[in-house]
Amino acid sequence: MTYAFLGPLPTVAMVHPETAKEILKTAEPKPTNLGAVYNFIFPWLGEGLLVAGGKRWARNRKLLTPAFHFDILKPYVAVNNLCTDVFLGKLDEMNDRYFEVFNEISLLTFDVILKCAFSYDIDCQKQGHPYVKAVSELGAALPERVLNPLLYPYMFFILTPMGRKFRRNCNYVHRVADDIIRSRRKALKENLSKTGDRYLDFLDILLTAKDPTGKGLTDKEIRQEVDTFMFEGHDTTASSISWALYSLASNPDCMQKCQEEVDRVLQGRDDDNILWNDLSELKYLNLCIKESLRMHTTVPFIQRITTKDCYVDGFLIPKHTSISLPLYTILHHPDVWKKPMEFIPERFSSENTDKMGSHAFVPFSAGPRNCIGQNFAMHEMKVILARVIRRFVFFSASK
């Protein structure tokens, strides 16, 4: 644990899993003060689950939880397969040559999230779309701003070319989401929004969610949650899939084991679509995905702010202290992870995880503020990776 001041703001970094556990098991809010990453994304995401705190977060978390129930997630496997079909067709065209895989996977995960969020089919993998471009540019602006303290104050940032583009993109993605929400809500009122054979999407759940008082989410709250779902479920998943392919390409024995497992699960099938019941059978692939998430976590750190004085490891952490949890360090700490720089999927076998601390593996955070969509993300990664590695062998360009 280290302690420092970032300007006038006290900050504590916790790098050991057992120390970080003391913060993760609480529902302490995210900091939105000057310099906090969550402050940078507030104009885009508003008070969605990622940023919200207190009673608002607790209420909305409870309202959104049914959207990630297994009964809702099951039909999304077919959506994953459908989008992966397009991706595999593109890979066929690029076969036998090196290319940057992340850009193509990013479009694939965008396609998935658009269909699952609000059944929005814009053929973005082949044709692109202004909405895709806007969301990508919004995400790309964040690390640039983080690395330039002069851009921390919004009043300065918004005067720069990057800031003006950020505001334009925010306004555009908000308009698109607002139009879709209004259209769907109108259809509900007119009793025309019968899904029929269509799966329930994220928007369907949000529009019909009610708290114990019978009050639902406002259109603004729904848009903030949809924007948050897009932000958290697109770029991070694309990065995770890309790193998993890199890890398998760098460890061909592991890739071969995964391919043999997929072949065994799909034996006798007329196609290579992954079904819901197949997900639990892809056990070794699951180990490889987890090990890749550990080695190459796509979220660099988590921030919290204390709402009261607390003690961690015998040290007093004063109220209003910013807590930083660097996930890369936590997921490579030698006290927990032996040979942390080596790709060893077997460390996640049941006999090994039984000995692991409850907060040792935290790529999706942990505790009450963990990632609400982690099962959605894991299912998506399994479907895409299983189908891709069954059809293709990947190699690292560095080799």
Binding site members for heme: 371
Burial label, 253 (beta-carbon count in 10 A; 0-12, 13-18, 19+)? exposed
Is residue 224 within 8 Å of 45, Cβ to Cβ? Answer: yes
Contacts with 248 (C-beta within 8 Å, 6 or more apart), sequence order: 254, 255, 258, 288, 292, 389, 394
What the block records as the tokens of 120 is: 């929005």
Phi, psi of 3 (to 5 degrees): -130, 135
**Whole-angstrom Cα distance, residue 99 to residue 53?**
42
Retrieve residue 136's tokens.
């990508």
* CA dist., res. 167 & res. 147, Å (int): 19
Contact yes or no for 131/137 (Cβ under 8 A): no
What's the length of the chain?
A: 399
Residue ranges of the binding site? 371
3-class SS of residue 323: strand
Sheet bearing 322-326, strands edge to edge:
2-6, 9-13, 322-326, 301-305
Residue 6 DSSP class:
E
SS3 5: strand
d(CA 187, CA 183): 6
Sign of CA dihedral 364, 368, 373, 378: positive
- Reading the block at residue 324, the tokens are 């930083």
Residue 281 per-residue DSSP state: G
The token duo for 187 is 């259809």
Cβ count near 159 (within 10 Å): 12
Per DSSP, what are the bridge partners of residue 9?
6
Task: Say how many CA atoms lie within 13 Å of 276 toward its Cβ.
Answer: 11
Closest CA to 252 of 393, 391, 116: 393
